[in-house]
Amino acid sequence: MRTLSASLLAAQKAATNKPYVKVELKQRLGAVTRLKWANLYAGTEELYYHTAASPGDRSLIRARCTDTSPRKVYRQRVANPTAQSTFTSWTYVADCSYAGIALASAGANVVLFWCDTDTKTIKYIESTDYGASWGSAQTLATRVYGVYHLAAAMKANGDAMLVFYEFTTANFYKRTGGSWGSVGSMPDTPYIVSGLAINHETEWCLAITGRNASNQRCVWT
């Protein structure tokens, strides 16, 4: 049994009392802080493939594809993204296919992937100064079938991984010590893939959305 304090006992015995309600609002869901998002920009760009990354200087690197033939890749860098920043300036990169685009960054390194107009040739450009300047386009590989759903991630030391869907398999290329290795395949691939995402924490973490052979919608990790 818990005893009441003298002040509570006095309030309990009083002829009248005034209840007080204390309300606390916290931006949390359990132990997780709920972020309050702010809309920085609403432009007229097409609603099509888009990707973004934030390198070590906290700048914002964006890339997008157009949906009209010939499709084109554009990139953008905003050094200090705020509500007052300009998000309308885009730099043309290359013509592309409908395979999608992927950005990855870590520290000062940023890499942008896309697929050429043949839908089979994977290309990329890279920056080593937070996206302020970029090297020339490089060819990573030319695949047998069409490439879809590009996704990329990068480690702090510059190692990178590109994942993509090709015909019936989720494949990947991994760069270690500055050199790209040969293509690898995921051991399990959904019957139909609708999206890929990859990140690196202590290891490469992959998520795949799609359908299985029974036509059930699923998420694999």
Tens-digit pLDDT profile for residues 144-166: 999 999 999 999 999 999 999 99
d(CA 208, CA 104): 18
Q: What are phi and psi of 8, to 5 degrees?
A: -70, -40
**So what's the pLDDT on residue 21?**
67
The pTM assigned to this predicted structure is 0.83
In terms of phi and psi (left: phi > 0; alpha: psi -120 to 50; beta: otherwise), the region of 10 is alpha
**So what's the pLDDT on residue 14?**
79
**So what's the pLDDT on residue 42?**
87
Those residues of the chain that have pLDDT short of 70 are: 17-21
Residue 125's identity, in one-letter code, is I
Q: What are phi and psi of 120, to 5 degrees?
A: -120, -25
